[in-house]
Structure 1
Amino acid sequence: MDVVKHDDAETYEPDEGWERRALAGSDQFSFEWFTKPSGHSSPMHDHENEQVCLCLEGELTLHSEDGTSVTLEQYDSAFIESWETHAVENTGDGMAVGLDVFAPGRSFDFWTDREE
């Protein structure tokens, strides 16, 4: 059994206020808890991993490359296929908290080694 305490988890802050924490996982799947300040959006991106985004607090809007958007409220979730181009934005008034699940699992290298 591999236990990761939230306060001891590996963290990464791609932008100010956008914190990500690597929770327990494996090469097959990984969990990333995150906070996202009001008005913040990740850049449009894609990845080989399938992804489930779960909104734990606040409001998260997922934007697709084709211009469609869907808003998740508390406990709503969305499945994002591998290589599906998307962005995640906090369109609410307060801090949003979410959980991303990736299969296969990934590390923060996705963001740190990324070419713009």
Structure 2
Amino acid sequence: MEPVDFDDAETYEPDAGWQRVAMAGSNAFTFEWFEKPPGHSSPMHDHENEQVCVCLEGTLTVTTEDDKVTLEKYDSVWLDAWESHRVENTGDVRAVGLDVFAPGRSFEFWTDREE
């Protein structure tokens, strides 16, 4: 067993107000808690990991090249590996979510990313 105390977990902020926290995980999967301020959107991107995005608070809109879905509290969406997408807080209040990635990944996906 390997517990993770939220207040002591590894964090990073790819953009102002967009915070990510590394939760439990392994090479097989990782969990990342995140929050986004109103109007914030990640850039369109893809990655080798399958992803499940769960909305915990607020409203998140997930857009792919072919579709768009709006998630409210406890709704989720699955994204296939290499499926281009972006996640946006389309509400008027802070949005909080949980991303699950398989295989697992580190924060280097965003920190070492070339624009």
Number of positions where the alignment pairs a residue of Structure 1 with one of Structure 2:
115
1:90 match: 89
User: Unaligned regions of 5+ residues in structure 1, if any?
Assistant: none
Q: Deviations along 1:72-107, whole A, 9 cap, x unmatched?
A: 000000000000000000000100000000000000
Instruction: Please state how far the C-alpha of 1:20 moved relative to its aligned partner.
Output: 0.1
1:74 match: 73
2:41 match: 41
1:18 match: 18
Q: TM-score, normalised by structure 1?
A: 0.98
Identity in percent = 73
For residues 11 and 86 of structure 1, the distance between their equivalents in structure 2, rounded to whole angstroms, comes to 22
In angstroms, what is the RMSD of aligned CA positions?
A: 0.5
Q: TM-score, normalised by structure 2?
A: 0.98
Instruction: Please state how far the C-alpha of 1:69 moved relative to its aligned partner.
Output: 1.1
SS of residue paired to 1:38? coil
User: Unaligned regions of 5+ residues in structure 2, if any?
Assistant: none
Moved over 3 A (4+): none
